[in-house]
A and B are shown apart, each in its own frame.
Chain A
Amino acid sequence: MEEIYAKFVSQKISKTRWRPLPPGSLQTAETFATGSWDNEENYISLWSIGDFGNLDSDGGFEGDHQLLCDIRHHGDVMDLQFFDQERIVAASSTGCVTVFLHHPNNQTLSVNQQWTTAHYHTGPGSPSYSSAPCTGVVCNNPEIVTVGEDGRINLFRADHKEAVRTIDNADSSTLHAVTFLRTPEILTVNSIGQLKIWDFRQQGNEPSQILSLTGDRVPLHCVDRHPNQQHVVATGGQDGMLSIWDVRQGTMPVSLLKAHEAEMWEVHFHPSNPEHLFTCSEDGSLWHWDASTDVPEKSSLFHQEMSSHYAAQAALKLLSSSNLPAWASRGGRSSTFLSHSISNQANVHQSVISSWLSTDPAKDRIEITSLLPSRSLSVNTLDVLGPCLVCGTDAEAIYVTRHLFS
């Protein structure tokens, strides 16, 4: 990763998201949004990595990202999603959910729609009203789903003033993140290590399915669904573990991979290249997981060659417990990345195509590459689109690379 550009922006970045490309477009990503947290004044900002061409660009050298416009945001930006090309939905620590509209003509942002009391502990109107942070938001035009520290799930529609559906007390603990599984099903993760699947067709306040990590109740902080295989889900936990789940069967993860040393804040499958996965963590690291190398000899050679280049890089196995891990005998650098896998469904699903679910030890190594040069403060967020990756840190820097797979 040679061309990774850093820019210090004088605000701690909590979220970054690429603007989606118009369907059928051949362009590469060039605009992304960021949200800040823990500042006296927080902002939603739009940045461009595009070439400025004729514009006066002597201030910034090539590859540097430039601020297009920003707007004040009340409270910490807890989550951020593009609703469509122009609209951005932001979740606030004040429990407010706001839709911002970008006007490309004069490069400004404005508030398009707002649900001010989406999340709260004590109801609005009561004298002891207290808001609750909204922790996660996910969009699937025209629907917006939000979750919060109050354990509430809201379903909004962009053209409705009120919530279309609210599930109060959906969870006894804090909900940390949410994603669409198959419409109209959503999946939430909470602070006691559970995944819950909710079906909006069903009335009542009970999830249709609960999956959980056994034992330690390690909080889960992030979740992402495989773009093509909707039953494959990745989550990241407080202990930095990456879990891969198959929601069609079992109540436990298919594999647990020891990854970061502290909270994993975000996990993303590459949208068009889902053999690749990206994670970032409180320990200040940003990792690229590559499960596309499937010839063992080749990849182990590759491993030896690469290990001198990258600090955190290893060939990992997803193993069923009946087999000894290959790295156990090899030792060395890769042994720092233990992989334990729970064999609740050992080797029974030969038909499964996804390399993330496979438990066949003869195949499927995962290459891990650390993308940031030196670690310091937390990497709170990342997003990938095409060959571009953006991430934001508590060290008030935004990193961008446009050549992920070169």
Chain B
Amino acid sequence: MEELDGEPTVTLIPGVNSKKNQMYFDWGPGEMLVCETSFNKKEKSEMVPSCPFIYIIRKDVDVYSQILRKLFNESHGIFLGLQRIDEELTGKSRKSQLVRVSKNYRSVIRACMEEMHQVAIAAKDPANGRQFSSQVSILSAMELIWNLCEILFIEVAPAGPLLLHLLDWVRLHVCEVDSLSADVLGSENPSKHDSFWNLVTILVLQGRLDEARQMLSKEADASPASAGICRIMGDLMRTMPILSPGNTQTLTELELKWQHWHEECERYLQDSTFATSPHLESLLKIMLGDEAALLEQKELLSNWYHFLVTRLLYSNPTVKPIDLHYYAQSSLDLFLGGESSPEPLDNILLAAFEFDIHQVIKECSIALSNWWFVAHLTDLLDHCKLLQSHNLYFGSNMREFLLLEYASGLFAHPSLWQLGVDYFDYCPELGRVSLELHIERIPLNTEQKALKVLRICEQRQMTEQVRSICKILAMKAVRNNRLGSALSWSIRAKDAAFATLVSDRFLRDYCERGCFSDLDLIDNLGPAMMLSDRLTFLGKYREFHRMYGEKRFADAASLLLSLMTSRIAPRSFWMTLLTDALPLLEQKQVIFSAEQTYELMRCLEDLTSRRPVHGESDTEQLQDDDIETTKVEMLRLSLARNLARAIIREGSLEGS
């Protein structure tokens, strides 16, 4: 066992007193049952009033959020798309596909976040609103982490473009600037607005120099005194060399140009050009990458990773991925300045900057309240072939372990279980077993739901589960006296034993009522009749009745006889069959031939000779026996007469 990564959190269950009473626990895949028992440790006779409830404790509460359900459903489609990406694809096209998938995941998180935000604002109950707001911040953190992972692990941006990506990343997540900008520009005199310089500073911090320049021109227009220095500052901003995507210049060229620009800025600082305007001077210091000047803007930077990116922008724009972790660590230390300790999010980002994927996933698993994030991120990174070396000491690999956890959580939900199926499908090692165990536990309240579950099982050749589901449905139908339905289900399950049982019920009903029910089914059995001997008998016996009804006596007679001679008919039913032969024997024309009559007689004797001898017989038994004896006598008589007629007829036919 590895050591624990953190203290497990304690969840208090209101109303349960574990000090006085012994507790009972039972674990499910995503839930736990807890209740008090009436056992008492000290066996005191006095009864402590105990809690009358059984509690269900759910581990994965996020699954029950209405808004997050959209995240689960929408990302399910993306997940399936990702699994189907052709393994053959290599190089650029594969990478661009993976980046696209990653962006899709992020846009789903964003959509969810926005909706959650709307709900949080609209919430009437403040406690509710707080809960939604905290969900918003969790989602926002998820997206932040995912975006960084996308840049570092999936995009694998090289020196140069790397910083551009990181700038976008910061701009996307520190977005207060847009509302501020609208606020300032909307005012009558923007340059006199309280937040004017804050806005300009933020724009510079985020590297949005074009916008900053436009702001400065407003200041220049408003106060002619500072117009000159504003223009100089504007020129500096304009001439800052940056890597643009379409540009073909090499990294060395860029570095050279940047060096020249940096020296120019440095000169202006030494010349004290901007001494008259402290705002502009501080901007210049920022553009020189002066750490102290940057740290003065802590409030505007709002977090250490913004500080990191701004610092890199103005001191080392061509930073190599491999050097990132050094800058990240020092930025974090500088920014926090020993005043506060890093939070989980900081650690996760730091681990990402260190390119330690496993640490990222581990920290996320601990910090986040659901498996959705880690399962999908890990799966995506696995498709980037970044996780192959890592094996767990339990189960299979990490991707599969996390997917299994996530899918099990979905299966614990009364409605989301259908999503879980596809996740299990893409777990090569343990997915199938897990699916088998989970699918059997889906409650089947309608046939339609059962059909959906059956389809899932049949598509995956899970014959055992198909049988068991059909059997459950057949049992239910029998209990509801729906024999036709029961037979249909046992035929679908190819369950011979159960088909025999249902057929027996049909035959018993026939004996009691003298007519068949559910003819529409029995008349249309077709090849399914072969499932069990008893079912075959049922079908054939019904066929006999139909022939008899259609007055096809000869066919009916030979079918009846063959039912007995082929031993398809159960012996207990022979007497009924022989009685059915009576009207045929009594017809005007001869139906049973002499040979057939001999067969019938043999059947009758066979039946009577093997009758059990009763030791003690009560009156009812005697009465029954009486009826039985009369029946046998009548049959013998009819058979003898028929035999006589048949011999005469056959003899005369041969003679003629």
**Which chain A residues have a beta carbon within 8 Å of chain B's beta carbons?**
8-12, 37-40, 59, 76, 78, 93, 121-122, 130, 132-133, 135, 149-151, 169, 171-174, 191-194, 196, 210, 212, 214-217, 238, 262-263, 282, 374, 376-378, 394-397
Give the Cβ gap from B587 to chain A, nearest Cβ, in Å: 29
Residues on the A chain within 8 Å of B527, using CB: 215
B76 and A212 form a contact (CB under 8 A): no
Q: List 15 A-B contacts (CB under 8 A).
A: A78-B448, A122-B481, A133-B448, A149-B447, A150-B480, A150-B482, A172-B484, A194-B524, A282-B455, A374-B80, A376-B76, A378-B452, A394-B418, A395-B419, A396-B70
Q: Does B414 contact A (CB under 8 A)?
A: yes
In this complex, which of A121, A122, A173, A396 has the most chain B Cβ atoms within 10 angstroms of its Cβ?
A173
Q: How far is the CA of A133 from the CA of B422 in the complex (A)?
A: 28
Q: Is B514 an interface residue (CB 8 A)?
A: no
Chain A residues whose C-beta falls within 8 Å of the C-beta of B445 in the assembled complex: 76, 93, 133
> Does B451 make an interface contact (CB < 8 A)?
yes
**Which residues of chain A have C-beta atoms less than 8 A from B593's C-beta?**
none
The answer for the CA separation of A37 and B450 in the assembled complex, in Å, is 13
B447 contact set on A, CB distance < 8 A: 133, 135, 149, 174, 191
A149 touches B446 (CB 8 A): yes
Question: When the two chains form their complex, are residues B517 and A172 in contact, meaning their CB atoms are under 8 A apart?
Answer: yes
The one of A9, A150, A191, A263 that contacts B455, using a Cβ cutoff of 8 Å: A263
Apart from A8-B70, A38-B414, A149-B446, what are 8 other A-B pairs with CB-CB below 8 Å?
A: A38-B415, A93-B445, A150-B482, A172-B521, A173-B520, A192-B484, A215-B527, A217-B526
* CB nearest neighbor in B for A261: B459
Minimum CB–CB distance for B152 against chain A, Å: 29
B82 to chain A: closest CB distance in Å? 12
Contact B520 A210 (CB under 8 A): yes
Name the one of A194, A282, A376 contacting B520, with C-beta atoms under 8 angstroms: A194
Query: Distance (Å) between the CB of A146 and the closest chain B CB?
Result: 15
**Chain A residues within 8 Å of B390, by CB:** none
The docked-state distance in angstroms from the alpha carbon of A174 to that of B482 is 9
Evaluate contact between B77 and A395: CB separation under 8 angstroms.
yes
Query: Judging by beta carbons under 8 Å apart, are B70 and A10 in contact?
Result: yes
- Decide if B73 touches A395 in the complex (CB within 8 Å): yes
Bound-complex Cα distance A250 to B156 (A): 68
CA distance A59 to B119 in the complex (A): 12
Chain A residues whose CB sits within 8 angstroms of the CB of B76 once the complex forms: 376-377, 395
Q: Which residues between 471 and 523 of chain B lie within 8 Å of chain A, taking CB atoms?
A: 480-485, 488, 517-521
Q: Are A121 and B488 in contact (CB under 8 A)?
A: no
Task: Give chain B residues whose Cβ lies under 8 Å from the Cβ of A133.
Answer: 445-448
Specify which chain B residues have a CB less than 8 angstroms from the CB of A130 in the assembled complex.
Answer: 480
Chain B residue numbers with a CB within 8 Å of A212 are 524
Please, how many angstroms separate the alpha-carbon atoms of A108 and B415 in the complex?
A: 26
Nearest residue, chain A, Cβ from B70: A8
B336 adjacent to chain A (CB < 8 Å): no
Closest to B65 in A: A10
Alpha-carbon separation in the docked complex, A282 to B69 (Å): 21
Partner of B67, one of A10, A39, A121, A196: A10
Q: Is the CB of B488 within 8 A of A262?
A: no
**B528 located at the interface, meaning its Cβ lies under 8 Å from any Cβ of chain A in the complex:** yes
Partner of B446, one of A78, A171, A173: A78
The residue in chain B whose Cβ has the minimal distance to the Cβ of A130 is B480
Q: Closest Cβ of chain B: how far from A371's Cβ, in Å?
A: 16
Q: In the assembly, what is the distance between CA of A120 and CA of B58, in Å?
A: 35
Task: Write the nearest CB–CB distance from B115 to chain A, whole angstroms.
Answer: 9
Are B488 and A135 neighbours in the complex by a CB distance under 8 Å? no
**What total of A-B pairs shows CB separation below 8 Å?**
124
B422 surroundings in chain A (CB, below 8 A) = 376
CB distance from B655 to the nearest CB of A (A): 48
Chain B residues numbered 405-459 whose CB sits less than 8 Å from any CB in chain A: 414-415, 418-419, 422, 445-449, 451-452, 455, 459
CB-CB under 8 A from B80, the residues of chain A are: 374, 376
- Contact of B481 (CB < 8 Å), options: A11, A12, A121: A121
**Is residue B66 within 8 Å, beta carbon to beta carbon, of the partner chain?**
yes
What separation, in Å, do the CA atoms of A172 and B451 have in the docked complex?
18
Distance, CA A257 to CA B84, complexed state (A): 29
Decide if B485 touches A191 in the complex (CB within 8 Å).
yes
Q: Write the chain A residue with the least CB distance to B67.
A: A10
A8 B452 Cβ-Cβ under 8 A: no
| A40 neighbours in B (Cβ, 8 Å) | 414-415
A39 touching B118 by the CB < 8 A rule? no
Q: Is A121 within 8 A of B482, CB to CB? A: yes
Contacts of A135 in B (CB 8 A): 447-448
Bound Cα distance from A314 to B70, whole angstroms: 34
| A-contacting residues, B260-315, CB 8 Å | none
B481 contact set on A, CB distance < 8 A: 121-122
Residues in chain A near residue B528, CB distance under 8 A: 217
Residue of A whose beta carbon sits closest to that of B442: A38
Smallest CB gap from A393: residue in B: B73
Which interface residue of A212, A238, A395 has the most chain B CB atoms within 10 A?
Answer: A395
Complex partner residue of A172 from B66, B67, B518, CB under 8 angstroms:
B518
B74 CB–A CB distance under 8 Å:
yes
For chain B residues 218-261, which have a beta carbon within 8 Å of chain A? none
Choose from A11, A121, A397 the contact partner of B480 (Cβ within 8 Å).
A121
B481's nearest neighbour on chain A, judged by CB, is: A121
| Distance between Cα atoms of A121 and B269 in the complex (Å) | 91
- Answer whether A172 and B77 are a contact pair too, CB < 8 Å, given A78-B446, A192-B521: no
Interface residues of B in 333-375 (CB under 8 A from A): none
Contact B482 A396 (CB under 8 A): no
Cα–Cα, bound, A212→B455 (Å): 23
Residues in A with CB closer than 8 Å to B67 are 10
| Given A93-B446, A135-B448, A215 contacting B526 (CB threshold 8 A) | yes
Residue of B nearest to A76 (CB): B446
Distance between B107 CB and nearest chain A CB, rounded to angstroms? 13
How far apart are A13's CB and chain B's nearest CB, in angstroms?
11
* Chain A proximity of B412: nearest CB distance (Å): 13
Given contacts A192-B521, A215-B527, A216-B526, contact A238 B451 (CB under 8 A): yes
- In the complex, which residues of chain A have a beta carbon less than 8 angstroms from the beta carbon of B520? 171-173, 192, 194, 196, 210
> Cβ of B81 < 8 Å from any Cβ of A?
yes
Min CB–CB distance A275 → chain B (angstroms):
30
Give the CA-CA distance A88 to B422 in the complex, in Å: 35
Are A192 and B482 in contact (CB-based, < 8 A)? no
In the complex, which residues of chain A have a beta carbon less than 8 angstroms from the beta carbon of B518? Answer: 172
Using CB atoms, name the residue of chain A closest to B520: A172
Contact: B480 with A122, CB < 8 Å? yes
Query: Which of B415, B521, B524 has the most chain A CB within a 10 Å cutoff?
Result: B415
Q: How far is the CB of B432 from chain A (nearest CB, A)?
A: 20
Measured CB to CB, the nearest residue on chain A to B81 is A374
Which 10 residue pairs of A and B lie closest in terms of their CB atoms, listed nearest first? A172-B484, A172-B518, A121-B480, A8-B70, A10-B69, A396-B73, A133-B446, A10-B66, A172-B521, A93-B446
**In the docked arrangement, what's the CA distance between A112 and B77, Å?**
39
Collect the chain A residues with CB atoms within 8 Å of residue B449's CB.
37-38, 76
